[in-house]
Amino acid sequence: MVFLGNKVLDWFISIGLVWQILLGIAIVVIGVALADRLFSRRSIVRNFPLVGHLRYLLIAVGPELRQYIVAHNREEKPFNRSQRDWIYRSAAGENNFFGFGTDDDLESEGYFIIKHSSFPKGEGSFAHSVKEHHFDLPSWKVLGEWHKRELTFRPGSIINVSAMSYGALGGNAHSALNLGCKLSNAYHNTGEGGLSPYHKLGADVVFQIGTGYFGCRDDDGKLSYEKLAKQCDEHPLIRAFELKLSQGAKPGKGGVLPAPKVTPTIAKIRGVKPWEHCISPNSHSVFTSVPEMCEVIEKIAKVTGRPVGIKSAVGKLEFWHELAEYMSKHPDIGPDHITIDGGEGGTGSAPLTFSDHVSLPFVTGFSRVYKIFLDKGISDKIVWVGSAKLGFPDKAVFAFSLGVDIINVAREAMLSIGCIQAQRCHTGHCPAGIATQNKWLEGGVNPKFQSQRLFKYMESWKKEVLALTHAAGYDHPTEFTMHDVEICDGSGGYKPLFEIFGYDCVHNTHSIKKSREHAMTGMRKRTDYVKTLEALKK
């Protein structure tokens, strides 16, 4: 046997390198073909060994092929090529203008136009303004003003980063987002995963409280008001809280972070045990009704001094009717701000049915909820936050016309720091290194560089929104009304929003007049805020 083996080895050496390589390839091919035929669980591969793998390879790279070769500029979902291109150019500080006119169908059903004024507000050269380094475009409403919170909060930007947890996104990605928000005077929502070190790099923070109470839970997994107060003491730039009831991409659905992903770092941030499943229920355990929810909101506001709001997708309207009725009868309590998330909102991972068919899209959902509060006479006292693909100037103006005061963006922010819409978020293998905890892939995100990209994207967004605002004859984007936008009915006719949705938004004109000079010259300096904090502690 040994003699035969030596003979074979001598022969193999004698045939030369080229034949050795070819023989090796042949052996591998035959081996794979036999394995495919005998052991594969895929019928196509068993019937067509080797060749059958091409089908699954094409399926795997299909989205990329369609993205770069097949799809039209405005065909792809959730963000088409033109939208991504505008974000990429803006984030790079490049020319984000488009030439030769629109390639949209202006007479298609649902297409909307923004009506300009014959006497627009005066401004300098827009081309010159694009080159300006930075300016503030703050909110004209103040979070917590209605309920007289101890530490009210006027966001320094009307565009901010929406809720995305550390765990769903990597540390480098969150660092880039937080540093970019700091540069742009925007706030950074933590998501329900708790306050991580990557949220503490200088930007204002909105602390989201989810059903798992991560980062503010006691040993039994219940909401701990003491830990909320401690978080605020340790990180004063927590400016507000947000109770998450649901999100547009998977409303009414809880979640589980698998044990292998619950690293000691994530476990410490969330207040759970490492290497054990981290469960987010689909509902809150500390309240089950509107009065109980409002009571929790008031407790959080009392121990922290901060404004407290809620975030929700829109489904059944009974909750909203009850909340509006309750707040109209009890004007001293309730959420200071309400974030409405549309069904087209994004997520790192969700069942397809929930993403596709549960919760109303933003425009429909927001307009229904806003009208309920408008009918009760309290819509102008609440700060309304819109979320779901509103990170484009035209979409933002549409939202402001409906009654939105502030815009939150998530996937648009991700695109600005390098996301390529590979749609691999749920796998943990994001090729851009954003939606992953893989250290090698995370290394592709340079927080110092990518934070500048987020900053430039936000600046371009604000400048273009302000240009639209001036073209319509206004000073601030929240002055848009439902008379300023019209929608095509598909037969060449257009109707204003107030005819379609049956209401006209009411902005708090007193607050606007009172805040005009303050808002247009920038937000209150953080030094003043810190002084207020110190005075309250004394």
DSSP codes joined into one string, 379-436: GGGSEEEEESS--SHHHHHHHHHHT--EEEESHHHHHHTT------GGGT--TTSSS-
State how many domains the chain has.
Answer: 2
* CA–CA dist 284, 304 (Å, integer): 20
Q: Which of 70, 91, 123 is the last residue of a domain?
A: 70
Residue 279's pLDDT is: 81
Cα–Cα dist 312/384, whole Å: 12
Q: What is the pLDDT of residue 348?
A: 56
**440-466 confidence digits (pLDDT tens):** 888 888 899 899 999 999 999 999 999
Name the domain boundary from 44, 70, 96.
70
123 in a structural domain? yes
Closest CA to 414 of 399, 393, 435, 428: 435
- Considering the domain architecture, whether residues 178 and 36 belong to the same structural domain is answered as no
Position 261 scores a pLDDT of 74
Give the Cα-Cα-Cα angle 341, 342, 347 (nearest 5 degrees). Answer: 75
Same domain flag for 298 and 407? yes
Of 15-19, 138-142, 419-423, the least confident: 15-19
Cα–Cα distance between 111 and 496 in angstroms, integer?
12
DSSP-derived letter for residue 504 is -
More confident: 391 or 518: 391
**H helices then E strands: how many in the chain?**
20, 13
Domain final position from 13, 40, 70? 70
| pLDDT for position 275 | 86
Q: Nearest to residue 498, comparing CAs of 480, 509, 486?
A: 486
Q: Per-residue pLDDT averaged across 175-179, rounded?
A: 96
Mean pLDDT, rounded, for 208-218: 93
Average pLDDT rounded to a whole number, residues 354-378: 90
Give the pLDDT mean for 507-524. 49
Note whether 227 and 235 are within 8 A (CB): no
Residue type, 537: K
Q: How many residues does the chain have?
A: 538
The SS3 assignment for 166 reads: strand
pLDDT top residue among 325 and 504: 325
Query: Tens digit of pLDDT for each residue in 100-112?
Result: 777 777 878 888 9
SS in 3 state form for 302-344? HHHCCCEEEEECCCCCHHHHHHHHHHHHCCCCCCCEEEEECCC
SS3 95: coil
Number of Cβ within a 10 Å radius of residue 505: 25
- Would 96 be classed as within a structural domain? no
The backbone torsions φ and ψ at residue 2, rounded to the nearest 5 degrees and listed phi first, read: -65, -40
SS3 159: strand
Q: What is the CATH number of the domain that holds 377?
A: 3.20.20.70
% of the chain at pLDDT higher than 70: 82
Residue 259 has what DSSP assignment? G
Distance (Å) of CA 84 to CA 32, 73, 425: 41, 10, 17
Alpha helices in 146-273 (DSSP H): 171-184, 225-234, 264-270
- The C-alpha atoms of residue 183 and residue 159 are separated, in whole angstroms, by 13
Query: What pLDDT score was predicted for residue 398?
Result: 96
Beta bridge partners of 169: 166
Q: Are 58 and 118 members of one domain?
A: no
**Domain enclosing residue 410, as ranges:** 112-537
Q: Are residues 125 and 9 part of one domain?
A: no
Q: How confident is the model at residue 21 (pLDDT cuts 50, 70, 90)?
A: confident
Dump pLDDT digits (tens) for 311-327.
999 999 999 999 999 99
Statement to judge: residues 390 and 483 lie in one domain: yes
Mean pLDDT of 331-337: 95
Are 291 and 404 members of one domain?
Answer: yes
Per the structure block, which two tokens stand in for 229? 């107060």
Q: Do 119 and 61 belong to one domain?
A: no
Q: Is residue 442 part of a domain?
A: yes
Contact indicator for 435, 414 with CB cutoff of 8 Å: yes
Q: Is residue 279 part of a domain?
A: yes
**Shared domain check, 210 and 129:** yes
| Average pLDDT of the residues of the chain | 84
Dist CA 431 CA 95 (whole Å): 26
Helix 171-184 vs helix 447-471: crossing angle, to nearest 10: 40
191: alpha, beta or left? (left if phi > 0; alpha if psi -120 to 50)? left
Residue 107 lies in a domain: no
One domain for residues 47 and 125: no
Give me the percent of the chain exceeding a pLDDT of 90. Answer: 52
Question: What's the chain's Rg over C-alpha atoms?
Answer: 27
3-state secondary structure of 24: helix
**Quick check: 255 pLDDT over 90?**
no
pLDDT digits (tens, 9 = 90+) for 42-94: 656 777 788 778 776 776 676 666 666 655 656 667 778 788 889 988 998 88
For the chain, give percent helix, strand, coil, nearest 5: 45, 10, 45
Residue 87 and residue 454: Cα distance in Å, rounded?
9
- The answer to the question of residue 293 being in a domain is yes
What pTM, to 2 d.p., does this model score? Answer: 0.83
Task: Output the six-digit token pair for 133.
Answer: 């380094």
Q: What is the helix (H) or strand (E) element at residue 188, kind and residue range?
A: strand 187-189
Per-residue pLDDT, averaged over 180-200, amounts to 95
What are the φ/ψ torsions at residue 191 (nearest 5 degrees)? 75, 175
Closest alpha carbon to 409 in 157, 221, 192, 212:
157
Reading the block at residue 307, the tokens are 């404004």
CB atoms within 10 A of CB 135: 14
pLDDT category, 130, cuts 50, 70, 90? very low
